[in-house]
Structure 1
Amino acid sequence: MAVTSVDKDFENLTLAVTCDLTTSVDRAWELWSDPRQLERWWGPPTYPATVDRHDLTPGGVVTYHMTGPEGDEHHGWWQVKTVGAPRSLEITDGFGETPGDPGDLPVATMRLDISERGDGVRMVVRTTFASTEAMERMLDMGMAEGMQEAMGQIEDVLAS
């Protein structure tokens, strides 16, 4: 499995999911920069993602929805803060149908870092929450498990 660690740090209000992949930095970046590849792994296997809008530039917006096993849809959005292609990305990450409107769910900052490691790369996705309550709420909803399941699909995307 590509996921090597899932670390919950309540002191620093972060959830970090780390993947070690046998690929190049550029190829790992394509997992994020190509919406068709992103939707092949972004949602957990039982909630596959469909990317509706994909503007991965500073100030841009990415919108998507995940479809559950009974046809239920759950919408999410990213507001892109910084892009350091092909090694880093920082976004505001939220749920809801309208970008920037989180509804009643917490909004977080997510940072992607891709670095060379041995014969491949290490990809770290670190989510930072505004409060302990926000972090606990998202973890109670299954965010850590969902991220681990989603990122666990990356090797299959790379192999195809």
Structure 2
Amino acid sequence: MPVTEVTTDPEALTMTLEAEFDAPVERLWDAYTNPRQLERFWGPPGWPATFPTFDFEVGGRAVYFMTSPQGEKSYGSWEFLEIDQPHGFTVLDAFADQDGAPLDGMPVLRMVFRFEPTATGSRMRNVSHFASAEALEQVVAMGAVEGATLAIGQLDRVLAGLREYAAGKGTQTEILDDTHVRITRLVEGPIDLVWRAHQEPALLEKWMLGPDGWRMSVCEVDPSVGGRYRYAWEPVDGTPGEPFGFDGETLLSDAPRRAVTTEHMTGTDYPSTLNDLNLEEEDGATLITLLIEYPDKETRDMVLATGMTDGMETSYARLEGVLATV
């Protein structure tokens, strides 16, 4: 995580976030002022951002929304007050409706971004100024500190580029909090093909097999929102183990970038998880990011202890071979 400190000051009516990066100021500036790059980190995990409007000039406005795993949208807007390339910019940040108009009764804050060089790269200092202590308390109570920390924690991969960030590292599992785990894997292949490989039974049956010695005995998929899926696996050729499977429902589908599904172990009363699949393509490679929400810490730890990461790595390595032949 690049975030080094988040502080609130009720007397000064400010919230300050500082973060350091192994990239020059100019690269950091690009990430914050290019809406397509900004979209890749501004929303915290599970709430990715979209900037349909980004008029980057003094007096101009940006409108964005963040989309939950269930498809709910939370809107915000920026009014650009000052621009000092590449050292920083200042905006009025407001909770907004879908047209970008500020919501009555919600705080409007002045947000100052400053970028400065360091011996190893750059530092970002983001100071939010509030009109009252009540407004500061309201935003903090809504999870602003935690959300901002998780969001900025995604910026390293944007600054570095996907290959430098993930190539050759295999399947990586990060515990974000008691109920959330993020899994990433870079695969060689275009995003459209990787999306198809997660949606089409004929392709799924070739790679989503886990460890060697298992076969997919059931692969039924309706990828439309509200549609259901069912997967089952069984051992072959004397491999030890008992057949098992998962079933669930598609909650959100935004081809070819995002699909959110529930996942339940078939035939059990175990609670479902929420699986949020996101795909990003750069230079012919696609980063697969799977954010899993567990019902509690105990379930999270139980699943991780099964060797899930190793099984997924075997499948993703197999996926790369499938992509090369399609």
Gaps of 5+ in 1: none
Shift of 1:101: 2.1
Match of 1:32 in 2: 32
Match of 1:53 in 2: 53
CA-atom RMSD in angstroms = 1.0
Shift of 1:136: 0.3
Match of 1:139 in 2: 140
Distance (whole Å) between structure 1 residues aligned to residue 106 and residue 150 of structure 2: 21
Shift of 1:100: 4.7
Structure 2 counterpart SS, 1:19: strand
Match of 2:116 in 1: 115
Match of 1:79 in 2: 79
Distance (whole Å) between structure 1 residues aligned to residue 123 and residue 74 of structure 2: 29
Shift of 1:9: 1.0
Summarize deviations over 1:86-134 as a string: whole Å, max 9, x none.
Answer: 1110000011124352332100000000001112111011101000000
Gaps of 5+ in 2: 162-326
Where do residues 139-158 of structure 1 align in structure 2 (5 Å cutoff)? 139-158=140-159
Asked if the contact 1:15–1:127 (Cα under 8 Å) also holds between the matched residues in 2, the reply is yes
Asked if the contact 2:5–2:17 (Cα under 8 Å) also holds between the matched residues in 1, the reply is yes
Summarize deviations over 1:57-105 as a string: whole Å, max 9, x none.
Answer: 1000010100001100001100000000111100000111243523321
Match of 2:93 in 1: 93
Higher relative contact order (CA 8 A, sep 6+): 1
Structure 2 counterpart SS, 1:45: coil
Match of 2:129 in 1: 128
Amino acid at match of 2:93: D
Amino acid at match of 1:15: M
Distance (whole Å) between structure 2 residues aligned to residue 67 and residue 54 of structure 1: 18
Distance (whole Å) between structure 2 residues aligned to residue 10 and residue 100 of structure 1: 27
Asked if the contact 1:79–1:99 (Cα under 8 Å) also holds between the matched residues in 2, the reply is no
Distance (whole Å) between structure 1 residues aligned to residue 5 and residue 52 of structure 2: 30
Amino acid at match of 2:154: Q
Bigger mean CA offset, 83-92 vs 99-108: 99-108
Distance (whole Å) between structure 1 residues aligned to residue 128 and residue 63 of structure 2: 18
Q: Which aligned segments of 4 or more residues in structure 1 are displaced greater than 3 angstroms?
A: none
TM-score, normalization: structure 2? 0.48
Distance (whole Å) between structure 1 residues aligned to residue 25 and residue 128 of structure 2: 21
Matched, 1:13 2:13: yes
Asked if the contact 2:113–2:125 (Cα under 8 Å) also holds between the matched residues in 1, the reply is yes
| Residues matched between the structures, number | 160
Amino acid at match of 1:136: E
Change (3 A) 1:19 1:58: same
